[in-house]
Amino acid sequence: MIPEVADFCRLLLFRHPQLAPEDDGRAIGAGPAQLGRRGQQAILGWYELLEDCQVDAVWSGSQPQCADAAAAVAAVKGLEAQVDDRLLDQQLGEWQGRAWDELAHQDPDRVREFFQAFGEVEAPGGESLGVAVERFLDWWSEQRTDGVGKTLCVVASGGLVSGFAAAMLGTRLERAVCLQLPPAGLGVVDVFGNGARISAWNVGAKLPGTGDR
């Protein structure tokens, strides 16, 4: 059982739901994409997860795949979603918006390095995941002062969520691959004055629209 929020801040880290077929398989990065039918269905599962859960604020970056989902969650909690572009995924520069299959064919060595050195390698003209995680941490540094006893919900990309969770646990970014969530997955991180713990990971994996790829 997940304990009630008391002398700590609870972060509900949602990976955005599954994308529409026309966006699936593209290097989205910090760019816009639309949720697919299954992704929209997954948000209904979030309502079920959060039905009896305290939520004090809902945040996301401005990408519609995150912002639209965050707005839907905020609405059922009587809140207004807040947007901060420090919560955007990494900028992918020349790769952004292009199909991964095409990129792997045209520049296989660089794409291979990008995925093997998780979070440390920049896309051409872009930035590394590590830089994006540092932005997320900067956002968190502003929230933590007033966060004790509160539950903050964040909707972001999968890489950003896992990278942030790894950083909060004090592990190297490359270890974030062990914390990957499926589309619409939820990780619960409780942050105390002297550290953080994962209270739950991939909550609601069997809900419709989650864990399906």
pLDDT tens for each residue of 89-120 = 999 999 999 999 999 999 999 999 999 888 89
Q: What is the mean pLDDT of residues 32-36?
A: 96
Kindly state the average pLDDT of the residues 76-89. Answer: 97
- Predicted local distance difference test score (pLDDT) of residue 4: 65
9-18 burial code (b ≥16 CB/10 A, e <16): bbbbbbbbbb
Contact by Cβ (8 Å): 40, 183: no
155 neighbors 70 (Cβ within 8 angstroms):
yes
- Cα separation of 58 and 203, whole Å? 18
Share of the chain above pLDDT 90, in %: 79
The span from the CA of 67 to the CA of 31, in Å, is 12
Instruction: Find the mean pLDDT for residues 1-7.
Output: 61
Residue 160's pLDDT is what? Answer: 96
pLDDT in tens, 114-140: 998 888 999 999 999 999 999 999 999
Rounded Cα gap, residues 179 and 94, in angstroms:
27
pLDDT the model gives residue 154 = 98
| Structural contact between residues 112 and 100, judged by C-beta atoms closer than 8 angstroms | no
* Residue 207 CB partners (closer than 8 Å, separation 6+): 42, 45, 48, 49, 184
User: What pTM, to 2 d.p., does this model score?
Assistant: 0.92
Model confidence at 147, in pLDDT bands (50, 70, 90)? confident
Asked whether residue 208 carries a pLDDT value surpassing 50, the answer given is no
Q: Is pLDDT at 42 greater than 90 in this prediction? A: yes
| DSSP-H helix ranges across the chain | 37-50, 64-76, 100-106, 108-116, 129-143, 158-168
- Return mean pLDDT, the chain: 91
Domain 9-203: which topology? Rossmann fold (3.40.50)
The predicted model gives 178-197 an average pLDDT of 92
pLDDT band at 213 (very low <50, low <70, confident <90, very high): very low
The yes-or-no verdict on residue 210 having pLDDT over 60 is no
Q: What percent of the chain has pLDDT over 70?
A: 93
Domain boundaries along the sequence of the chain:
9-203
147/154: higher pLDDT = 154
Greater confidence, 117 or 20?
Answer: 20
* pLDDT given for residue 204 in this prediction: 76
Alpha-carbon distance 199 to 2, whole Å? 6
Contacts of 117 (CB under 8 A, 6+ apart): 174
